[in-house]
Amino acid sequence: MRLLGKKKNVLGLDIGASSLKLVSLNRKSDTYELNSLGYREITPEAMVSSEIKDHEAIVFEIQNLIDQYAPDAKEVAVAIEGHGIITDKITIDKKSGTEAEQAILFEAEQRSPFDVEDVTMDYHIINVNEETNKMDVLLVAARNEYLRSYLRLITDAGLTPVLVDADSLAILNAFEVNYEIDPNQVIALVNIGFDVTNVTFVKDGFYHSTRDVSGGGRFIFDAVQREFQLNDELALKLLKGDVSASVDEDLYKATLVTSTDELLAGLEVAFSYFKTSAKIEEIDWILLSGGGALISNFAELFQARLGTPVEIANPLRNIEYDPAMFDGINFEQIAPLFAVAVGLAVREV
C-alpha cells in the first residue's frame, strides 16, 4: 500500500474516532527533529468502530487542523485499523526478487479471508534466518472499499495520500525510534483507541503478531459521563485525572473498574493466545499508548489485572524540538496520543 515517489519524510496524520493528530518531522542524521504537532477533537459520532459516519465533518476538521498546524503540507501518510484490515506473518523458504514476490503473494491469497479482487495487499520481509534458510514475512491486506473511504477523506481535504500503514505497525515504528529493543524481552505495545485497541507483540527483537481487541475509551467515557451526569468536556477532564470536589473519587474508581472490565478481559484473551502461539510463559513489558493510556488509574488497573509491568509510552522521547516553538506544551502529558502519527511521520516515501 505504498505509492511510488522520491524518498522523503511526510506528514503523519492519525484519523482517530475521537480526535485527529498530526506530526511533521525533519530527519537529522541519526535522529529526528519535531517540526509541527497538532491535535483536534472530532465529534464521537463522526466515526464509530472505524466506520466513517460523517464524511463532511471529518474533512472539515482535517482542513482546520492542517490550516492551523501545517499550512504548507500537501502530502500525508495515514493509517487504518479495524475490521477492514488484516495482518499476518508467514514463514517461507528464503527467496529473492520475483520468485520471492510470487511466493509471498501466493501465500497471501491463500490466507486472506477476503476475495483477492477486493483487497490491496503489501508485504515486508521481517527477518531472514541464514541457518534454516527461511524468512519471516509480514502480510497486510486492506479491503478496497474500506481503504478508499479513508483516502477520500484525505483527497477531499485537499491533500495527497502517499503512504497507507496499519495503526499497529505505525505504533511499532514509533517504538523502534524511541526505545531500545531488547531481544531477550517479550514486549506488548498496546494502543488504546476510542473504539479499537491494537496490540503489537515483539519477540526476539522482531515483530511477532498483532491482535485487535474490540473496545477502548468510548465505553469508559460513556460510563463516566452517565454516572456523574457530565458533559463531554467535563467527562474528558475527569478521565484525565482532573477530579472536581463534586465527584466522589472512590465512586470514580469503582466506575472505572466496571467500565474497563470488558476491555481488560479482551486483552487477557489476546495475551493468552499470544503466549500459546509464541510458546512463552510471560510477557516482560507492556507499553501503553493512545488516548486510553491517559485515563487516570487505567495503567494501574491493567498492571494489577495482568501482573505484568506497564509503562505509559512516550513516542516523542527521542525526538528533538525547539522549546521556543512549543512553549507551554507538556510533552509527557500528551505524547501517548501521538504514537500513530509519529510512527507515520518517520516513514520515508
As a whole number, mean pLDDT of residues 157-170 equals 94
Q: How far apart are CA 268 and CA 79, in angstroms?
A: 25
The pLDDT, as a whole number, for residue 304 is 92
Mean pLDDT of the chain: 89
Q: What CA–CA distances, in Å, run from 168 to 4, 191, 256? A: 22, 8, 25
Does pLDDT of 175 surpass 60? yes
pLDDT tier at 233, thresholds 50, 70, 90: confident
Q: What are the sequence ranges of the domains in the chain?
A: 11-345
As a whole number, mean pLDDT of residues 81-109 equals 86
Helix or strand or coil: residue 276?
helix
The x, y and z cell numbers of residue 30, run together, are 541519526
Strand order in the sheet with 196-203: 206-214, 196-203, 187-192, 285-289, 310-312
Q: Is 144 exposed, middle or buried (0-12, 13-18, 19+ CB in 10 A)?
A: middle
Q: What percent of the chain has pLDDT over 70?
A: 96
In the chain, the amino acid numbered 42 is: I
Does pLDDT of 267 surpass 90? yes
CATH 3.30.420.40 fits 11-345, yes or no: yes
The pLDDT, as a whole number, for residue 2 is 37
The pLDDT, as a whole number, for residue 49 is 79
DSSP letter string over 38-58?
EEEE--TTSEETTEES-HHHH
182 Cβ contact list (under 8 Å, min separation 6): 205
Q: How far apart are CA 156 and CA 63, in angstroms?
A: 9
The pLDDT, as a whole number, for residue 6 is 42
B/e letters for 215-253, b = 16+ CB within 10 Å, e = fewer, are bbbbbbbebbbebbebeeebbbebbeeeeeeebeeeebe
* Paired residues of 202 in beta bridges: 187, 207
Does pLDDT of 293 surpass 90? yes
